[in-house]
Amino acid sequence: MNFDESAKDVEQWLLATCNAARTLSPTECAAYKALHIRKGWEVTIGFKTREGIVHLLLDSDFPYSPPRVAYRSGDCYLKWPHVEENGVLCLPKNSVSWTDPIEKVRVALADACVLVDGTLHLDPSTTELSREFISYWNRAVDTSVRKIQSLLEPTRSAGEIAVWWGKDEIVAAENGEQLTHWLRNSGSTAEVQFTQGIFIRLDAPWVPPYPESLQLVVDKLRAVDPDVPGKLETHAIDNERCVVVMAASVETGTGLTGIIIEGGILRKLNGFRPKHIPRNFKIPHWYQNATVNHSIVNRADAAWIHGRDKNEELAETLTKKVTILGCGALGSHVAVRLAQAGVGSLMLCDPETLAAANVGRHVLGMRSVGRSKSLDLANEIRRRFPHLTVEGHHTAWQHASDEVREKIWASDLIICAIGDWSSEGLLNEEHRVRGVPPIIYCWMEEHATAAHAVGIVNQSSCIACLLNETGNTAAPETIWNDGAEEVSEPACGAYFQPFGPVDIAYAEGIAAELAVDILTGRVAENVHRVHATSTHRLKKLGGDWSEAHKEFRGHFEGGLQFQRPIENSSECPLCNPVHD
Give CA–CA dist 238/229, Å, rounded.
14
Residue 199's nearest CA partner among 231, 167, 177 is: 231
User: Which residue(s) pair with 137 in the sheet?
Assistant: none
Give whichever of 25 and 472 is closer to Zn ion, judged by the CB atom: 472
Give whichever of 149 and 461 is closer to Zn ion, judged by the CB atom: 461
* Type of residue numbered 121: H
Give whichever of 224 and 574 is closer to Zn ion, judged by the CB atom: 574
Least spacing, CB of residue 572 vs Zn ion, in Å: 3
Torsion of CA 133, 139, 145, 147, to 10 degrees: 50
Distances in whole angstroms, Cα of residue 193 to Cα of each of 144, 297, 319:
23, 20, 28
With b meaning 16 or more CB within 10 Å and e meaning fewer, what string describes 389-421? bbbbbbbbbeebeeebbebbeebbbbbbbbbeb
Give whichever of 500 and 573 is closer to Zn ion, judged by the CB atom: 573
Task: Evaluate whether 566 touches 453 at the Cβ level (below 8 Å).
Answer: no
Task: Evaluate whether 87 touches 75 at the Cβ level (below 8 Å).
Answer: yes
Least spacing, CB of residue 376 vs Zn ion, in Å: 35
Give whichever of 342 and 455 is closer to Zn ion, judged by the CB atom: 455
Give whichever of 332 and 526 is closer to Zn ion, judged by the CB atom: 526
Give whichever of 21 and 474 is closer to Zn ion, judged by the CB atom: 474
Residue 526's nearest CA partner among 398, 394, 431, 444 is: 431
Least spacing, CB of residue 570 vs Zn ion, in Å: 10
Task: Evaluate whether 15 touches 21 at the Cβ level (below 8 Å).
Answer: yes
Task: Evaluate whether 431 touches 456 at the Cβ level (below 8 Å).
Answer: yes
Least spacing, CB of residue 454 vs Zn ion, in Å: 11
Least spacing, CB of residue 574 vs Zn ion, in Å: 5
- Burial tier of 508 (Cβ tally within 10 Å: 0-12, 13-18, 19+): buried
HEC sequence for 375-391: HHHHHHHHHHCCCCEEE
Q: SS3 of 427, please?
A: helix
Distances in whole angstroms, Cα of residue 453 to Cα of each of 31, 165, 236, 273, 508:
58, 46, 56, 72, 9
Cis peptide before 63 (omega within 30 of 0): yes
Give whichever of 161 and 572 is closer to Zn ion, judged by the CB atom: 572
Give whichever of 51 and 571 is closer to Zn ion, judged by the CB atom: 571
Least spacing, CB of residue 462 vs Zn ion, in Å: 3
Least spacing, CB of residue 419 vs Zn ion, in Å: 19
- Burial tier of 10 (Cβ tally within 10 Å: 0-12, 13-18, 19+): buried
Give whichever of 176 and 425 is closer to Zn ion, judged by the CB atom: 425
Least spacing, CB of residue 441 vs Zn ion, in Å: 12
Give CA–CA dist 14/21, Å, rounded.
6
Give CA–CA dist 199/231, Å, rounded.
11
Give whichever of 521 and 565 is closer to Zn ion, judged by the CB atom: 565
Give whichever of 404 and 436 is closer to Zn ion, judged by the CB atom: 436
Give whichever of 230 and 573 is closer to Zn ion, judged by the CB atom: 573
Give CA–CA dist 448/218, Å, rounded.
64
Least spacing, CB of residue 460 vs Zn ion, in Å: 9
Least spacing, CB of residue 564 vs Zn ion, in Å: 15
Maximum alpha-carbon separation in the chain: 105
Least spacing, CB of residue 356 vs Zn ion, in Å: 39
Q: How many other C-beta atoms lie within 10 A of the C-beta of residue 301?
A: 21
By the criterion CB under 5 A, which residues form the site for Zn ion? 462, 464-465, 572, 574-575
Alpha carbon 153 to chain centroid, angstroms: 15
- Burial tier of 38 (Cβ tally within 10 Å: 0-12, 13-18, 19+): middle
Least spacing, CB of residue 452 vs Zn ion, in Å: 16
Cis peptide before 67 (omega within 30 of 0): no
Least spacing, CB of residue 579 vs Zn ion, in Å: 16
